[in-house]
């Protein structure tokens, strides 16, 4: 694929670069030049309200305001998208592609191998005129702010004077969209693409086949992005309640995405208004001037990462004489080899290059530990349904104008949403769960008829990785004429539930979106499993909802209104603790005289623990470290999974089995020693090690991990256990919104845990974290009079 040309060298005039970018943005389809004005208002916590007469103005004001808050983060994203990190930052640094943290050279090589500007431009030609105008304005607005900041000397310190601080182009936006689309597919396997090399030759023959696949490695491969029971960074809770479940008959929605707290994937709060055309508020991210999770006057929505697969792997049967030749229907096909080289860095470092291999089924990948190595007989290709999916921007633009969940569903009909479910509620009291994401059209029958070698075929049941036989053209994805894109499942064959009752999703499949409603039938296994063990967050969510609607959860009444919903999500129940602590306490009492000192101390602390992950919960860190160890003990559950009781099972600790009991007490003793070694007492309150300094003040944080089943999820990516620094939370609950409606429009309260700005010196960096810690919510100003009441400073008016 063609790669982007290197950026202008640092000694070129910044003004010339900016002028060139402006010329590129001003395409021939632009309307005649006329003076128009966009207004930017800021309200409490720096929330941006953009008002413009058209979509170009919306894009212009959006980018200008976002750059005010996050210029250096945005510029850093551009550096990644251009494949120029090594050139400007050196080979020693790292960056993320999806959840992969890779060295700068590997990031640059992957980007340069994948991004083809001519192909992306062709795909983006299908953008609606409104989206094209918004993107055109977005580029111009960013460049306007960049120029202003450079001239005024107000560029933040983290990127001030850097040669990589360059103007944006429309091509950058296309690359940004593509990078977001492949987060759950090719991007998640970037390192596997980079690791794919033909087998070494010995005595003229290719190397022997790979060993038997390792199940844990296969699961790790699957869990790079989603469907991860142990807590991938990208997850969410989404709940919607209809008129049968709410106090006044209006819909109520909870949005609780779990995303990184730093870097380019941070959310940013914004309100977009085109009088008479658009009025939408919520959170955005990426490089499109749209609201991703939010609400308008009549409907509110959120997204959760879906279990649907965005790709399939193909097992290629190789020519024994040449491992770069594969067979399809008995015919030899030569792989395409393409050398990608990085330009020399500023310090004159050695050139770096890599040969990438492609097939008609997609790029070649290699994951030997999962049994997917490139060997003498087989190679594996990844066919990605979201590559060149440029439809998402128009999807979100249409969703912003919907008047109810029916129109919202129709807005998603172009199948642009890449890897998320949608949960929504409207003013009329309808609730909706919909997985209308992009999934390859592969049926259960096709998985069987197109099974590859037995070891590769077993990866679907073992780890959720679908591998098809690439030696037969009949194993290409099915083509439904009703699908927006050839080879994906048509929207009419994806699971959707609209109900006056309630729906929920916490990153498990559509199966239990409402367990009282039979799931849709005839759904492809690639959309999600049915009848399997559910994640602890899913089980906790269903129990919380059922308890609330039964009036048995300790709150008043038996309806889920916004105040009840805000209370429930911050109850911080530790579902794993609720499942196992009764058995542990009983076993502690029975075996007290036989226990080690540390195990006895652990029993004392956890017997008094309140089974929550509240900041003041004494013993919560000890349970976390205990359960981190104990959950993997063989046969640890007393009651095994029962598909007829998926919310209640598995449960309990099998303490009547001696081997299990001994292992559990050993895990407890080790957890006590670990917490002590980190410098904390075994009964330390969670908010001591789980805290963050904000503007000179330490803020204690409530919330727990995925494996504990805490709905209000907080995680420390890559941290294996508590240490002397405590828990360094860096992802989890990010933008939280609870929305309902009255006769005037939406009533929304929200928290952006890490604040509007990613710049450490900004007043809006983590300024909402104390709000989160106190379990207080910010009322979002949607109506003009509310914006006026919360306004900070004077409006900024820009001509464009």
The set of catalytic residues is: 236
In terms of C-beta density within 10 A (0-12 exposed, 13-18 middle, 19 or more buried), how is residue 98 classed? buried
Residues ≥6 apart with Cβ < 8 Å to 28: none
Whether omega for the bond prior to residue 650 falls within 30 degrees of 0, making it cis, is yes
How many whole angstroms separate alpha carbon 210 and alpha carbon 323?
14
Q: What is the DSSP letter of 163?
A: T
The β-bridge partners of 378 are 317
Residues 6+ apart with CB under 8 A from 645: none
Place of tokens 């009291």: 429
Burial bucket for residue 319 (CB in 10 Å: 0-12, 13-18, 19+): middle
Q: Are strands 420-426 and 378-384 parallel, antiparallel or unpaired?
A: unpaired
CB 225 within 8 A of CB 232: yes
CA neighbor of 224 nearest in space, from 310, 315, 316, 108: 310
| CA atoms of 538 and 227, how far apart (whole Å) | 12
**Residue 285 in tokens:** 């991210």
Cα distance between residue 285 and residue 288, in whole Å: 7
Angle between helices 55-81 and 104-114 (to 10 degrees): 120
Tell me 162's DSSP state.
-
Q: In degrees rounded to 5, what are phi and psi of residue 589?
A: -65, -40
Say if residues 195 and 113 touch (Cβ distance below 8 Å).
Answer: no
Closest residue by Cα to residue 310 from 197, 191, 189, 212? 189
d(CA 299, CA 231): 30
Q: E strands along 218-267, which residues?
A: 235-241, 252-260
Q: How far is residue 792's CA from residue 27's CA, in Å, rounded to a whole number?
A: 36
């Amino acid at each position: 694929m063609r790669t982007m040309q290197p950026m202008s060298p640092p000694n070129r005039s910044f003004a010339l670069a900016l002028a060139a970018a402006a010329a590129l943005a001003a395409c021939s389809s632009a309307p005649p030049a006329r003076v128009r004005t966009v207004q930017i208002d800021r309200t409490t916590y720096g929330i941006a309200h953009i008002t413009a007469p058209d979509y170009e103005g919306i894009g212009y004001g959006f980018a200008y305001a976002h750059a005010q808050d996050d210029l250096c983060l945005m510029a850093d994203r551009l550096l990644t998208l251009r494949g120029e990190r090594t050139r400007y930052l050196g080979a020693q640094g790292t960056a993320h592609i999806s959840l992969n943290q890779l060295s700068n050279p590997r990031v640059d090589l992957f980007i340069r191998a994948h991004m083809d500007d001519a192909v992306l431009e062709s795909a983006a030609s299908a953008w609606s005129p409104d989206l094209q105008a918004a993107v055109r304005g977005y580029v111009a607005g960013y460049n306007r702010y960049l120029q202003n900041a450079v001239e005024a000397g107000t560029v933040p310190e983290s990127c001030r004077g850097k040669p990589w601080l360059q103007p944006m182009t429309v091509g950058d936006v296309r690359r940004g969209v593509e990078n977001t689309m492949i987060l759950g597919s090719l991007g998640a396997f970037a390192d596997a693409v980079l690791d794919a090399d033909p087998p070494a030759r010995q005595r003229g023959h290719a190397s022997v086949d790979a060993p038997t696949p390792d199940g844990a490695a296969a699961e790790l491969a699957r869990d790079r992005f989603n469907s991860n029971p142990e807590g991938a960074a990208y997850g969410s809770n989404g709940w919607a309640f209809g008129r049968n479940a709410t106090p006044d008959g209006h819909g109520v929605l909870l949005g609780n995405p779990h995303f990184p707290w730093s870097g380019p994937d941070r959310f940013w709060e914004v309100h977009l208004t085109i009088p008479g055309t658009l009025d939408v508020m919520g959170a955005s991210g990426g490089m499109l001037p749209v609201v991703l999770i939010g609400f308008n006057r009549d409907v509110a929505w959120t997204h959760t990462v879906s279990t649907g697969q965005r790709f399939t792997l193909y097992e290629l049967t190789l020519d024994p004489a040449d491992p770069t030749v594969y067979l399809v229907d008995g015919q030899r096909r030569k792989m395409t080899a393409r050398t990608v080289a990085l330009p020399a860095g500023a310090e004159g470092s050695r050139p770096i290059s890599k040969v990438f291999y492609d097939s008609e089924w997609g790029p070649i990948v290699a994951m030997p530990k999962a049994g997917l190595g490139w060997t003498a007989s087989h190679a594996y290709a990844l066919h990605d349904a979201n590559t060149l999916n440029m439809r998402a921007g128009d999807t979100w633009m249409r969703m912003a104008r919907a008047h109810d969940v029916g129109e919202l569903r129709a807005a998603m009909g172009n199948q642009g949403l890449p890897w998320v479910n949608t949960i929504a509620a409207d003013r009329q009291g309808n609730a909706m769960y919909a997985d209308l994401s992009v999934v390859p059209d592969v049926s259960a029958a096709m998985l069987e008829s197109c099974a590859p070698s037995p070891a590769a075929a077993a990866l679907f049941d073992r780890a959720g990785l679908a591998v098809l036989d690439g030696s037969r053209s009949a194993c290409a994805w099915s083509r439904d004429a009703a699908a927006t894109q050839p080879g994906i499942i048509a929207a009419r064959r994806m699971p959707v539930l609209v109900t006056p009752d309630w729906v929920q999703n916490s990153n498990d499949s559509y199966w239990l979106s409402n367990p009282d409603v039979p799931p849709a039938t005839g759904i492809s296994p690639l959309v999600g499993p049915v009848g399997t063990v559910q994640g602890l967050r899913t089980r906790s969510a269903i129990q919380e909802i059922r308890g609330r609607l039964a009036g048995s959860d300790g709150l008043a009444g038996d309806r889920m209104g916004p105040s009840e919903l805000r209370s429930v999500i911050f109850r911080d129940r530790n579902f794993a603790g609720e499942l196992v602590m009764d058995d542990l306490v009983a076993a502690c009492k029975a075996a007290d005289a036989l226990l080690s000192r540390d195990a006895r101390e652990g029993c004392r602390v956890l017997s008094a623990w309140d089974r929550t992950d509240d900041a003041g919960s004494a013993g919560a860190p000890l349970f976390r470290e205990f359960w981190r160890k104990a959950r993997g003990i063989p046969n640890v559950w007393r009651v095994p999974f029962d598909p007829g009781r998926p919310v209640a099972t598995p449960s309990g600790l099998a303490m009547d089995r001696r081997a299990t009991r001994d292992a559990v007490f050993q895990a407890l003793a080790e957890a006590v020693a670990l917490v002590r070694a980190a410098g904390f007492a075994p009964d330390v309150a969670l908010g001591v090690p789980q805290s963050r300094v904000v503007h000179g003040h330490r803020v204690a944080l409530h919330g727990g991990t995925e494996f504990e089943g805490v709905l209000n999820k907080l995680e420390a990516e890559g941290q294996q256990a508590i240490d002397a620094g405590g828990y360094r939370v860096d992802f989890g609950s990010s933008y939280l919104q609870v929305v309902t409606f009255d006769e005037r429009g939406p009533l929304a309260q929200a928290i952006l845990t890490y604040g509007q700005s990613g710049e450490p010196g900004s007043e809006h960096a983590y300024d909402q974290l104390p709000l989160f810690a106190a379990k207080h919510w910010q009322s979002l100003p949607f109506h003009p009079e509310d914006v006026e009441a919360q306004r900070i400073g004077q409006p900024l008016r820009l001509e464009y």
